[in-house]
Structure 1
């Protein structure tokens, strides 16, 4: 006889089968309810994936165009116009400072005529940096031994161009197109263009003040030390440029003082 005919059939217990199935279901539910261990979790990337290079270039392109426009308006024909009276004072005393630095020991001689800080002319930031531009221009062989109507205005044009770029760092506050519009207005503003081609403390002061605002705003948002250091640098250079920085401190100080008083109730 065949095997399946001789072996007794295994009888299934109709009562036991549902119990076994329920036991398996209970074990599965218990496994689902147990918390997953930390090492079993798949960690998400810490830094979000950067957009592709093409998208970033398209995002930067409108700003780069405005920055280039601002630079052209400030540097094109920079030395064509004769010096204003105030510009001539800054140019002369910067040249005097350059000569003093070449022979600084002579300034200790009695009756020596050397550069010194004068509140009437403000400074001393602009005089030191214009003298530095003179020296670099001499080294590269610029006309008139590096001292001319162009070189005296290079510092103003440079900081005037930096002003155009600063709203870019406020995109999180102004939005992309709001920041772009701010950059564009600063780039083509007749007043900003004029003073960016004018060797006086006005544009230096404006640049450092806006840099201070941008740095403080970014530090409040990001809490990164570099923005705090940049804010301190901007405030220091502003003090070294013009005494009106006391008014800037008064404006900022009154706002933060009122904010602290409001928070403390």
Structure 2
């Protein structure tokens, strides 16, 4: 038992070593910036307004607020990138620690192997450093899988309540939880080993449902202070049916396989095929040794793979729950091999872990962390956007108004600029051309074809691949700035 704990804690430390360094270096993605602004509203005003047309549930913000308080950050301006990214990072590491509760479900050798693969998996590392909801969703999903299975085997209501809490937190995290619930339901129907008597089962379902609803309502009502979000959290699925058709993120059915298993850009090859190969071994082992949870996991993963392949809307982070299921199967595969051919299993695991770790180090390096050649970099902000924000701040430094100078942004796409310009109180945003009068700096989309004349200095910056912005600076202000460079 002692060695088991040490091994899991060791895997968690490896995970920290890959996830923690230089969290602030990578530019903020649009989605991260949007979440940051909403977090700032919660920090400053204690307000969270659920938007059923976009965005997601509040758990990410609730998880970040205590971290911000501990780091002395109480306003949007004080917020730092490191503070925000610490929240998903902690859940990413917590996902490994959660394996301590799965030893009796998966097997101890299997959980240790799964912990190591989770620690070094490039996609798990990359999105543990990303301020979006997915890592929290994966954490709560795994909590649901383990507690649900433990309840079905033991009949203890405590496990049913914990399963309900995890389900409620999933709903309060992201609406796509219903896909996971569907996959769990299919797996239970096909391979569920239910040892609980029917009458006791009804009580367990009632307890789980009551806790799930209670947790979800608590979160969406902002701890019973604003009830508008509760019905909207259900009505939102009408919008998600439409979004599932693509909404600008349409990809072929095999996109997830391409991103995860084999992604080649020039001479660079990115692959987590080692996990996939070991997961196939886990699938074989689950049926060969009649492992109840293994068979359940196989059907769960297979169903999820089919569902996500069919849905046109695809982003790399959407497959995290699927990948985590594959990692658990890979752990089963290594454990099965180790009992038969340990001289094959352990070198294979070591080779896979080293290869995955090298790719994680490369994918999160300064060179590739926002480079489109990295399969997990998706419509990401370029470093040029940070230089754009620096230019605006340089103008504020020489402006008579200082940080109170007027900045007008007229562009169809301008995120994450509201994050980078959050300390300037007089910045306005329009998605169409507007009157530039009174502004010291005007930022526009080139397609607007606006002519600012000789009284303005114009520079061109890249926001992200395929998106350019023009920065127009009043000539007198530009000359004052250039005088400081002599």
Normalized against structure 2, the TM-score is what?
A: 0.37
Alignment of 1:243-258 (within 5 A): 243-257=175-189
- Cα separation, 2, equivalents of 1:179 and 1:89: 36
- Cα separation, 2, equivalents of 1:173 and 1:204: 22
Q: 2:26 aligns with which of 81, 96, 102?
A: 81
Contact 1:67 1:161 in 2 (8 A): yes
Question: RMSD value over aligned CA atoms?
Answer: 2.7
Q: What CA deviation, in whole Å up to 9, does each residue of 1:203-232 have, x standing for no partner? A: 111111111101112222333333222211
Contact 1:82 1:149 in 2 (8 A): no
Q: CA deviation at 1:90?
A: 0.7
Q: Secondary structure at the match of 1:121?
A: coil
Contact 2:4 2:112 in 1 (8 A): no
Question: Counterpart in 2 of 1:41?
Answer: none
Q: CA deviation at 1:199?
A: 0.4
- Cα separation, 2, equivalents of 1:62 and 1:129: 27
- Cα separation, 2, equivalents of 1:193 and 1:259: 31
Q: Secondary structure at the match of 1:193?
A: helix
Does 1:225 pair with 2:157?
yes
Cα 1:191–1:259 shift into 2, 3 Å? closer
Q: CA deviation at 1:259?
A: 6.3
Q: 1:117 aligns with which of 30, 38, 50?
A: 50
Contact 2:95 2:139 in 1 (8 A): yes
Q: CA deviation at 1:91?
A: 0.8
209-218 or 67-76, which moves further after superposition?
67-76
Q: CA deviation at 1:244?
A: 0.7
Q: Secondary structure at the match of 1:242?
A: coil
Q: CA deviation at 1:136?
A: 3.0
Contact 1:166 1:183 in 2 (8 A): no
Does 1:131 pair with 2:76?
no
Cα 1:83–1:66 shift into 2, 3 Å? same
Question: Counterpart in 2 of 1:156?
Answer: 88
Alignment of 1:166-205 (within 5 A): 166-205=98-137
- Cα separation, 2, equivalents of 1:225 and 1:76: 41
Query: Rg: which structure is higher?
Result: 1
- Cα separation, 2, equivalents of 1:172 and 1:227: 14
- Cα separation, 2, equivalents of 1:59 and 1:162: 16
- Cα separation, 1, equivalents of 2:6 and 2:91: 21
Q: Which runs of 5+ in 2 are unaligned?
A: 199-486
Contact 1:166 1:214 in 2 (8 A): no
Question: Counterpart in 2 of 1:60?
Answer: 5
Question: Counterpart in 2 of 1:29?
Answer: none
248-257 or 229-238, which moves further after superposition?
248-257
More helix, by proportion: 1
* Structure 1 consecutive aligned stretches of length 4 or more whose deviation exceeds 6 Å: none
Normalized against structure 1, the TM-score is what?
A: 0.65
- Cα separation, 1, equivalents of 2:100 and 2:168: 23
Cα 1:222–1:74 shift into 2, 3 Å? farther
223-232 or 174-183, which moves further after superposition?
223-232
Relative contact order: is structure 1 or structure 2 higher (C-alpha 8 Å, sep ≥ 6)?
Answer: 1
Q: 2:143 aligns with which of 183, 186, 211?
A: 211
